[in-house]
Amino acid sequence: MKRALRRVAPQLMTLIVLAALVSWFFPSFLQIDLSDGRLVGPVIDIVKRGAPVAILAVGMTLVVATGGIDLSVGTVMAITGAVAASALVSGWGVPVALLLACGAGLTAGVWNGALVAVLGIQPIVATLILMTAGRGIAQLITEGRILTFSDTGFAFLGSGSLMGIPVPALLWVLTGVLVALLMRRTALGLLVESVGINQRASALAGVNARGLIIVVYMASGLCAALAGIIATADIRGADANNAGLWLELDAILAVVIGGNSLLGGRFSIAASVLGAMIIQTIDTGILLAGFPSEYNLVIKAVLVLAILMIQSPHLASEWALIRMQIARRRAARGQEG
Amino acid sequence: MTLKTLMLTTVATLGLAAAAQAQTVGFSQIGSESGWRAAETTLTKQQAQERGIDLKFSDAQQKQENQIAALRTFIAQGVDAILIAPVVATGWDSILEEAKEADIPVVLLDRQVDSDKELYLTAVGSDLVHEGEVAGKWLAEAVGDKSCRVVELQGTTGSSPAIDRKTGFEKGIAGHANIEIVRSQTADFTRSIGKEVMESFLQAENGGADICALYAHNDDMAVGAIQAIKEAGLKPGEDILVVSIDAVPDIFKAMADGEANATVELTPNMAGPAFDALAAYWKDGTVPPKFIQTDSALYTMSDDPAGQYQARKGLGY
């Protein structure tokens, strides 16, 4: 437990500093009220809004841990949203819509995984195919329109709340905890890391590396499906052109802010979802502070750069060196006097 | 006269009339990137059919070279006129000259080109500033002398509809010191970001109690924002007035439910005025003005939104 806390300490610190920074611009940032039996407040909005990226980040962490990357998750969100919405519009009911959407996500994962593990195509290229072509598939399903539905049961997944807490927030916490337990309470996490560090060596040691990589991309596809369901339920409509647009990059950024190496190997799911919350805190904070919209992306870039610089291992060792030199100089001066 | 001869003469007259009038028009459409454009295509085909015009349709799939190729084919076929929704503003000079040499009038739909005005007959389009102004004037009238704090959802930062619709709205509320835009943020013309930004507006403005009206640069953002308002426990349309632009079917549904107040139409029927201008030109050579501005009609809750929704939902929006 203590080790796990130490692993996510930089991310927690960043969140606290960001919260202080936003509070400076918007004093009631941390205030949470209870209205109509549901919690409301900027922090609640952040844990709700951050759900799609947090869930994508869970799947992305696993893919990145194997040394891969999944650029298609944003597009898979659009596809699964379109599948779910068209199932609802056709009157097939919520369970069928959910099953079909998850099936579409898993299929996308099998496709990506097969390209990477069986055909040996580089992950960034393999998933780029679905990233660009997939939006066309989503548009074919919605016929280019925003498919609007009015099923309140399905909308509950995006905008409902349980015991005052927004459902999307519960979903990402649940996803994160389940996947983390599955990885850490079994040997699975270790196997994923070993494939990421050296695929050939793990295969020679008896790990089914090929199968594991396909399964990891399927997990990412399933996470994308869940994120797509939430995004679609949230606006009660499937927008094939815009659903999940550029979210794959936010998910990768969340993994990176979580301190995971894009080269594969050791990973922490908790740190990645905290990374997603950091990104969402920046986004919501900018909106609350009320800057003109031209500044949004610049502010985001500066903050992200600052966070990554603080986490940079090079900078950390340089800093340690400087501190040592200062200490030495002081000691020398003390001797002279 | 027996019934049979009567029918025969009718058919003959109709046939003659059709033969005398049947004109061929080529239409080069950009593609089908948005619901609005799909509706424009549907309406252009409808308008042509109503007027007995033989429409040759070509989808350019967002590529200028496809449009130029389509225009060249139309010229070779010797059509009576060409309609084009140009994908970009530049690079049309030579193909427009070819059309002019072949004496084929060209009408631009909803977008402009940077070529010499002599090279095309006329352009049909909407005035984006005017659309914003209509929305602003509606709000000024709706709130009267009451003080009103407005939040604005902008389109994509830097895009011309976002700039012009903002300018127009500010023009529309100019002179009404009681109306003030207190928060303005981009929501990228999309439903999901519209909802997200509106949520933060509600947080920042005392749970929404301090907001009197929402102005969104398009209907989709308004539809997203309406859900955010509802989830915050307020009544959109009553507690917070909602006015937006475009007039897509879903905003009429919201209006029918009493959740939106007004929308300004960006009509997808650009072909109607174009065909009218062409008919006059063919008849006696009347040259229309170089820019035909389409109506920016205002629709409110009292304009039968349920009926409007039914009429529009089949147009492919």
Amino acid identity at B235: K
Residues B119 and B29 in one domain: yes
Examine residue B3 and state whether it is found in any structural domain, yes or no.
Answer: no
Res B80 pLDDT > 70: yes
Amino acid B19: pLDDT: 43
Task: Flag whether B137 is in a domain.
Answer: yes
Helix (H) or strand (E) holding A292: none
B87 and B139 in a single domain? The answer is: no
**Minimum-distance CB partner of A288 among B154, B188, B203:** B203
Same-domain pairing of B175 and B275 = no
Residues B306 and B163 in one domain: yes
**Which is higher by pLDDT, B12 or A2?**
A2
Do both B154 and B103 map to the same domain?
no
pLDDT tens figures, B268-293: 999 999 999 999 999 999 999 999 99
- Distance (Å, rounded) from C-alpha A262 to C-alpha A128? 17
Same domain, B120 and B136: no
The total domain count for chain B is: 2
Contacts of A234 in chain B (CB under 8 A): 192, 195, 227
* pLDDT band with cut points at 50, 70 and 90 for residue A336: low
Domain annotation covers residue B295: no
Model pLDDT for residues B201-211, shown as the tens digit of each residue: 999 999 899 99
Phi, psi at residue A5, to the nearest 5°? -65, -40
Pair (B111, B142) in one structural domain: no
Check which CATH number belongs to the domain holding B44 and give it.
Answer: 3.40.50.2300
Q: How confident is the model at residue A277 (pLDDT cuts 50, 70, 90)?
A: very high
Give residue B38's domain range: 23-125+268-286
Residue B133 domain flag: yes
CB contact under 8 A, A239 and B192: yes
Q: B75 with B177, same domain? A: no
ipTM: 0.87
Of B192, B186, B242, the closest CA to residue B212 belongs to B242
Cross-strand bridge partners of residue A293: none
The whole-number pLDDT of residue A317 equals: 84
**B14: in domain:** no
- Put simply, the answer to whether A287 touches B35 (Cβ < 8 Å) is no
B8 occurs within a structural domain:
no
Lowest mean pLDDT among A166-170, B203-207, B210-214: B203-207
Kindly indicate the confidence band of residue A43, based on its pLDDT and cuts at 50, 70 and 90. Answer: very high
B36 within a domain of the structure (yes/no): yes
The whole-number pLDDT of residue A66 equals: 96
DSSP codes, B9-32: HHHHHHHHHHHHH--EEEEEE---
Residues B120 and B134 in one domain: no
- Average pLDDT (A32-38) is 86
The rounded distance, in Å, linking the Cα atoms of A198 and A209 is: 10
Spatial separation of the C-alpha atoms in residues B229 and B239, rounded to whole Å = 9
Per-chain mean pLDDT for chain A: 93
Chain B CB contacts of A236 under 8 Å are 227
Whether B185 is in a domain gets the answer yes
Q: Give yes or no: residues B194 and B156 share one domain.
A: yes
Q: Note whether B68 and B93 are within 8 A (CB).
A: no
Residues 215-234 of A with CB under 8 A from B: 231, 234
Contact with chain B for residue A27, Cβ under 8 A:
no
H or E, element range at B251? helix B249-256
DSSP conformation letters of A159-191? H-EETTEEHHHHHHHHHHHHHHHHHHSSSHHHH
**Cβ partners under 8 Å of residue B102, min gap 6:** B75, B78
Are B169 and B144 contained in the same domain?
yes
What phi-psi label fits residue B304: left (phi over 0), alpha (psi between -120 and 50 degrees) or beta? Answer: left
Answer whether residue A65 shows pLDDT above 50: yes
Examine the domain organization and report whether B108 and B160 are in the same domain: no
Q: Does B196 touch chain A (CB under 8 A)?
A: yes
